[in-house]
């Protein structure tokens, strides 16, 4: 039952904000959040993560938006799990469609799963993103696509207490289009059948707003949200409140 799964709300700030703007967002939104039985995480750009973490005055945690595939070493531009743990950061987002699908990046399913397993095996928790394009949905390939994205993770991960899955249909991210509650629930229920542990939390992401959050979180297999644009404004407070 959903009541046994602690709800989770993530705010993915993506590559937005100056440092001053990020700290203003902490002051005007993040520090105004009041919650008890929820996990709330925000994810600024990596350059801002320490000052944002230091400015937070409640139980909101921070997450990196990516992590490297190795530990310390000659990997220019990468952040290792050791760097993350050294700063006492617990969460990382992996598998986002903007890293899977952007032509200049195109991280593979196996590469993403390897990074996730490395992070989890070294004590970090992962928000693992999956989702289909509009073409895949219209071709009725959604389940096949999601299985392809999840299977490498299932093959490599043993400790599922450190995994939150975020279903983000690519066609709904930043487009203003949102999956209907019925469609989102159907997909979440199908994802749950694929997972080895029924206690794993599954989030919905894709144009979540203060207006649709309550009806979406009312679905039995939706355990929270990964929020993009709405996490950059006061709407995020309303979304968190809808999940209490």
Cα separation of 108 and 111, whole Å? 5
Q: Please, where are the H alpha helices in the chain? A: 19-28, 49-55, 81-86, 97-100, 109-121, 134-138, 142-156, 181-194, 213-217, 235-242
The residues, ordered by sequence, that sit 6+ positions from 139 with a Cβ below 8 Å of its Cβ are none
**Catalytic (active site) residue 96:** yes
Choose, from 98, 107, 136, 168, the residue flagged as catalytic: 168
Classified as helix, coil or strand, 171 is helix
Choose, from 96, 107, 136, 188, the residue flagged as catalytic: 96
What are the helix and strand counts (H, E) for the chain? 10, 8
Exposure class string for 50-67: b at 16+ Cβ within 10 A, else e: eebbebbeeebbbbbbbb
Which of 178, 179, 146 is closest to 165 using CA atoms? Answer: 146
What does DSSP say about strands 91-94 and 125-130: parallel, antiparallel, or unpaired?
Answer: parallel
Residues marked active site are found at 96, 168
């Amino acid at each position: 039952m959903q009541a046994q799964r602690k709800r989770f709300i993530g705010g993915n700030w993506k590559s937005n904000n100056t440092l001053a703007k990020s700290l203003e967002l902490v002051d005007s939104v993040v520090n105004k959040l009041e919650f008890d039985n929820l996990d709330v995480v925000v994810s600024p750009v990596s350059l801002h993560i320490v000052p944002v973490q230091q400015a937070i005055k409640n139980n909101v945690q921070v997450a990196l938006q990516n992590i490297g595939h190795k530990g310390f070493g000659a990997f220019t531009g990468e952040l290792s799990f050791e760097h993350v743990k050294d700063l006492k950061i617990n969460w990382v987002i992996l598998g986002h469609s903007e890293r899977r699908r952007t032509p200049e990046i195109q991280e593979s399913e196996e590469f993403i799963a390897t990074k996730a397993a490395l992070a989890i095996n070294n004590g970090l928790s992962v928000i693992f993103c999956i989702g289909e394009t509009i073409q895949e949905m219209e071709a009725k390939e959604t389940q096949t696509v999601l299985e392809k994205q999840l299977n490498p993770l299932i093959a490599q991960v043993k400790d599922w207490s450190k995994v939150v899955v975020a279903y983000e249909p690519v066609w709904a991210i930043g487009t203003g289009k949102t999956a209907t509650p019925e469609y989102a629930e159907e997909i979440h229920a199908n994802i749950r059948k694929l997972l080895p542990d029924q206690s794993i939390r599954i989030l919905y992401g894709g144009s979540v707003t203060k207006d649709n959050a309550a009806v979406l979180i009312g679905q039995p297999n939706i355990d929270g949200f990964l929020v993009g644009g709405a996490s950059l404004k006061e709407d995020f407070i309303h979304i968190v409140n809808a999940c209490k």
